[in-house]
Structure 1
């Protein structure tokens, strides 16, 4: 099986530990274990529940409490439809591994998280790229989708909101997308790790809109806990049973400790979302002010989604610029060519505020060499 190197992960593996100001990531500033333990009734009560637990395999598909908390995130999902995975990457892989065969036709949003294009290719599928467009707020055209779709299209893959741009398909857009997929009976796989935190904005999960919709998610982005590798996939009962069979070949369990922490985090999600909403709102305002003053940067602003994609007006290849920026200023971005979009860079504006402020100042100082 042939597969391309994973551009973003390869970049981060190479350079992340060299950063002084890491503003490349797409998570919201991570919680400490101390902060997690203070949620709810406090550390002592939580430890009294945790310390007696045996470090055996635990619940294979995720504990009943975990499944119940995940099901609450959706309108039409029962706990029996929830399967715990190794992050959203494990959830995406499981769905693709179980459904895609050689010769299948898959349509994938592009550029997006690389799994959604290159895993289907590695499994022998023909993949049509559904291009996002900056002039349309980094959304792809539904008219283009109608041109790409075929009677035998097996699956449409989306990332909502999009990585790296933060572009968001709203309810009306998703409803039309479902209508297009229904005409040929195509599955829709939706990676939904980037929940928008804009007040009053509710984006439905694809599993709640479409019987052949598959929603994947994790605690890594919106919930600020990438340190436990817990995600999930939710789908209809028939698909969930199919995924169970394939899941046995990819993992046993998420682990007793990780399951316990994940369940605790989800039980107190409102507190975390309130904290994270403030981070997103304050940091996005800071970035908007910075972009307004920085002549060599422009940005289609995300709707309180934790990733953004700046455009750089510089006479230099993007990756070499980012390497020099890191080596000379300690600032880490992800160059846009890692998403096949040279001239741009992923800016993780939901880093801790002091890191963001210092990183943006150093980036502006570095950009002055071109003036």
Structure 2
């Protein structure tokens, strides 16, 4: 398949361990197995006895029942375990959904900036991709009237990340309902990558709560501090597409590892503990970022974030990749350059790592770099 290079992964992965101040990650502070057991109040001896007795044969083909129940519990009562399919990570979820639904003759409406899978995979599969770019104007905004104008009878799906990657923008219930109305008019699906969902003090509405043809993709990677489990999921109330999803999953990974699914189930059963832990981490760091930005006249925050990252535009006449490369070379600070998200003169900054002094020191280095650009 001829597909565009995955810019974010090609940018971040080779540099992940190269910077003293790594603000590229979008995960909340990861836990060790021991920390996970302590946080959730799980009996360690019982946990390891269960693992010792596990068969190393194939796992559950739709996902461990305990895990599917825990995933369903992340949403309202509209979602049941039958509507959950466990897959290999959030990237596996996005890939499977796109491959199951997209084909030549369809179009896909994608709200940018977003995660590249949502537009590059449909394009590679022969779909027309229609882009609404929230970052194209002076101020970041989601103009749903312009999105509606892109939707027609050939629209297979509307794709978004909620909260946004990279911006952290969170759609209100009213905005999700408006998107639902426009999708329902033509029978389009709404695919919502909700991997950053859950860090608000209020319930964050999911597309699968509100729309019978809503499809959620997510995983334990970000707000559940366990990217290494590679446990993801697809949720949809439209069971008519379940066979297609299962078929693509069979080509993709067959099943997931039962040890990983057990860990994920324990974490999701205690979701509020992880929400509270990671909410505190990101809120403290985000406030530090906001205060620091008050002294940076050349930077503009895209929007208020409800995730572990924020997105920043700058007014220097320097391309995004060059800005990030120079920042890394001169100040040992790594950020995600805007080209990873089809944006110019901008970058994503992550702050979910849980070390305030580290973050302040890195911001000071970033401030030094900006001051040098003024000279």
Normalised-by-shorter TM-score class: over 0.9
2:369 corresponds to 1:357: no
TM-score, normalised to structure 2's length? Answer: 0.94
Residues 33-53 of structure 1 deviation map (CA, whole Å, 9 limit, x = unaligned):
221121213433322322322
What is the aligned residue count? 370
1:164/1:370 CA distance change after superposition, 3 Å? same
SS of the residue 1:320 aligns to: helix
Partner residue in 2 for 1:17 = 17
Q: In the alignment, is the contact (CA less than 8 A) between 1:284 and 1:304 conserved in 2?
A: no
Q: In the alignment, is the contact (CA less than 8 A) between 2:160 and 2:192 conserved in 1?
A: yes
Give runs of aligned pairs for residues 273-352 of structure 1, distance below 5 A. 273-352=275-354
Give runs of aligned pairs for residues 81-96 of structure 1, distance below 5 A. 81-96=83-98
Residues 141-172 of structure 1 deviation map (CA, whole Å, 9 limit, x = unaligned):
11102211112211111111111111111100
SS of the residue 2:228 aligns to: coil
Unaligned 5+ residue runs, structure 1?
none
Q: Distance in 2 between matches of 1:313 and 1:131?
A: 19
Q: In the alignment, is the contact (CA less than 8 A) between 1:56 and 1:256 conserved in 2?
A: no
Give runs of aligned pairs for residues 177-196 of structure 1, distance below 5 A. 177-196=179-198
Partner residue in 1 for 2:227 = 226
1:261 to partner: Cα distance? 0.8
Give runs of aligned pairs for residues 79-118 of structure 1, distance below 5 A. 79-118=81-120
1:349/1:170 CA distance change after superposition, 3 Å? same
SS of the residue 2:251 aligns to: coil
Residues 123-157 of structure 1 deviation map (CA, whole Å, 9 limit, x = unaligned):
11111112214769634211102211112211111
Unaligned 5+ residue runs, structure 2?
none
Q: In the alignment, is the contact (CA less than 8 A) between 1:22 and 1:355 conserved in 2?
A: no
Which of 158, 169, 172 is the matching residue for 2:171? 169
Q: Distance in 1 between matches of 2:74 and 2:334?
A: 33
Partner residue in 1 for 2:2 = 2
Partner residue in 1 for 2:373 = 370
Partner residue in 2 for 1:144 = 146
1:101 to partner: Cα distance? 1.0
Q: Distance in 1 between matches of 2:166 and 2:66?
A: 33
SS of the residue 2:294 aligns to: helix
Q: In the alignment, is the contact (CA less than 8 A) between 1:158 and 1:189 conserved in 2?
A: yes
Q: Distance in 1 between matches of 2:179 and 2:294?
A: 35
